C-alpha cells in the first residue's frame, strides 16, 4: 500500500473518531459547567477543539485553547494538574474498558488559518492564483 504524503499510515478508525468526539464533548461540558474543584481552572473559558485517541483508546490528546488565546501555558498546566479529576469525569460518561490517559496540547488550528489567510492576501500569491485560474 502506498503511503499518503500527508499521513504516516492509515487514518483513525471510526471508533477512534467516535470516542474522541465523545471525550471532546464531555470535557467541554465539564469545563463549561465548572465541575472541577479548582477555582483557577473554573475561572477560565477553554475551548476543546478536538480530541485524538490512540488506536487502543488508552491515550486521548485534547487540543485546547483558552478564550482569546491568552494564557496558553497556564491552561495546559491547570489541565495537567486536574488530569485525574477530568479523567474520572470522562470515565463516568463513557462505557470504556479503560479510562483513557488524558494529555493536553494547544490547538493551533486557528493560528494556521490566520497564517493561510495572510498568505492568500499577498499580491504575489493573488497573482499566482489568478494565473493558474486563467490557464
Tell me the backbone φ, ψ of residue 108, rounded to 5 degrees. Answer: -100, 15
Q: Is residue 41 part of a domain?
A: yes
Query: Mean pLDDT, to the nearest integer, of 76-103?
Result: 91
Residue with cell 495546559: 76
Domain membership of residue 84 as a residue range: 14-108
Q: Is residue 120 part of a domain?
A: no
Q: Is residue 28 part of a domain?
A: yes
Q: Is residue 124 part of a domain?
A: no
Amino acid 14: pLDDT: 93
| pTM attached to this predicted model | 0.73
Instruction: Report the domain count for the chain.
Output: 1
**CATH number (domain holding residue 23):** 3.30.300.20
Q: Is residue 80 part of a domain?
A: yes
Q: Is residue 119 part of a domain?
A: no
pLDDT band of 112, cuts 50, 70, 90: low
CA-CA distances (angstroms) from residue 5 to 9, 53, 56?
A: 10, 21, 24
Amino acid 114: pLDDT: 55
Name the nearest CA neighbour of 32 among 52, 20, 18, 47.
Answer: 47
Alpha-carbon distance of 27 to 46, in angstroms, equals: 10
Amino acid at each position: 500500500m502506498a503511503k499518503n504524503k500527508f499521513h504516516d499510515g492509515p487514518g483513525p478508525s471510526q471508533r477512534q473518531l467516535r470516542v474522541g468526539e465523545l471525550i471532546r464533548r464531555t470535557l467541554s461540558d465539564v469545563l463549561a459547567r465548572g465541575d472541577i474543584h479548582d477555582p483557577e481552572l473554573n475561572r477560565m473559558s477553554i475551548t476543546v477543539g478536538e480530541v485524538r485517541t490512540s488506536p487502543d483508546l488508552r491515550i486521548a490528546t485534547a487540543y485546547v485553547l483558552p478564550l482569546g488565546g491568552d494564557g496558553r501555558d497556564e491552561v495546559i498546566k491547570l489541565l495537567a494538574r486536574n488530569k485525574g479529576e477530568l479523567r474520572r469525569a470522562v470515565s463516568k460518561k463513557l462505557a470504556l474498558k479503560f479510562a483513557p490517559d488524558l494529555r493536553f496540547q494547544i490547538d493551533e488550528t486557528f493560528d494556521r488559518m490566520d497564517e493561510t489567510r495572510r498568505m492568500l492576501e499577498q499580491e504575489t500569491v493573488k497573482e499566482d492564483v489568478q494565473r493558474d485560474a486563467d490557464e
